[in-house]
Amino acid sequence: MPELPDVEAFKRYLNATSLHKTIGRVKVYAPDVLEGVSGRRLRNALEGKSLDQTRRHGKYLFARISGGGWLVMHFGMTGRLKYFKGTHSPPRHTRLLLSFENGFNLAYILQRKLGRVFLAGSGGSFIKERGLGPDAMTIGRAPFLQRLGKGRGGVKPWLMNQGNIAGIGNIYSDEILFQARVHPLRKTGSLDETAGKRLFRKTRSVLKTASDAGADPEAMPRSWLMRHRKGGGRCPRCSSPLATLKAAGRTSWFCPECQPARPTDQ
């Protein structure tokens, strides 16, 4: 699930549960989710320390370690965090477990092992090394439009490419395109100034609204595409049957009436 709003919710969850608590023990259940750091080094960096602040950039969550460095988490398609009490076995698919001295634990859970955990010196250096673009929720209009103008391909791949702007995945790109009334196969170069500005505005508002709602799909407005993107779903705006197509190997949902294709884009 995790796109920007979901990771924002994880950040708030971590803040509310796990800050300023001494980490007694770290258990790595799946060493293969660690990237660029060994289990031993991760344990050494965390045990006896605490997490004292968090940041989010795109789909990455950063937690600063009191002893120096940052624990960085990416959640793949199925990741989440769970804070729980006790010493009983952690939730299914727990890949990394921080056990605090207060008797509680923070589990990093991935059903499919597509997420990754890193240890970084600083957030800024990590973002640079990974080639991430500016955060999709905080980027300003001018840099957004400037970067959009450099695109040569489709709008949807542009939105989802983390090097352009960071944080948008399949679900939210569909939502943004729907609300901006842009067909998923439109090319970035075919968008005029007005459409570009609309795309920026909807990117901002969709991510903001979803983050404020805790990324809970059920809490999103009924007027959003997201609430209807399933077989037999109809457009919340014009009631037309929604359509799907494949782009970049992923399913795009859209309304053929509200998001008309342009012949040059087909």
Query: Residue from 43, 82, 187, 227 that binds DNA (CB under 7 A)?
Result: 187
Number of H helices, E strands in the chain: 7, 10
Nearer to DNA, 88 or 231 (CB): 231
Binding status of residue 91 toward DNA by CB under 7 A: no
Residue 134 near DNA by CB under 7 A = no
DSSP character string of 209-236: HHHHTTT-GGGS-TTSGGGG-STT-B-T
Binding mask 190-229 for DNA (x = CB under 7 A): -------------------------x-x------------
Which of 27, 55, 113, 197 is in the footprint of DNA by CB under 7 A?
Answer: 113
C-alpha 172/C-alpha 160 separation (Å) is: 9
Q: Which of 152, 194, 232, 266 binds DNA (CB under 7 A)?
A: 152
CA dist 215 and 225 (Å) reads 14
Q: Does 58 bind DNA (CB under 7 A)?
A: yes
Whose Cβ is closer to DNA: residue 50's or residue 54's? Answer: 54
Place of tokens 């959009």: 148
Which among 56, 59, 95, 156 is annotated as catalytic? Answer: 59
Does 114 participate in binding DNA (rule CB under 7 A)? yes
Between residues 165 and 258, which has the closer beta carbon with respect to DNA? 165
233 binds DNA (CB under 7 A): no
* Binding piece for DNA, criterion CB under 7 A, among 48-56, 110-118, 134-142, 194-202: 110-118
- Measured CA to CA, the distance from residue 137 to residue 195 in angstroms comes to 18
Count of positions on this chain that bind DNA (CB under 7 A): 40
State the DSSP string of 79-94: EEEEEEESSSPPPTTE
* List of residues 6+ apart from 190 with CB closer than 8 A: 262, 264, 265
Residue 18 tokens, joined:
């796990």
Answer whether 158's CB lies under 8 Å from 248's CB.
no
Give yes or no: 80 in active site. Answer: no
Quick check: is 3 catalytic?
yes
Q: Which is nearer to DNA, 23 or 191 (CB)?
A: 191
The contacts of residue 26 (CB under 8 Å, 6+ apart) are 42, 43, 46, 47, 96, 97, 98, 99
The position carrying tokens 């004292």 is 52
* Tokens of residue 80, six digits: 């989440």
What residues contact 217, with CB distance under 8 A and at least 6 apart? 226, 227
Verify binding: residue 243, DNA, rule CB under 7 A. Answer: no
Instruction: Kindly tell me which of 19 and 77 has the beta carbon lying closer to DNA.
Output: 77
Q: Which is nearer to DNA, 100 or 178 (CB)?
A: 178
Contact footprint for DNA (CB under 7 A): 1-3, 5-6, 32, 58-59, 74, 76-77, 92-93, 111-114, 130, 150-154, 157-158, 160, 162, 169-171, 187, 215, 217, 231, 246-251
Which residues are known to be catalytic?
2-3, 59, 250
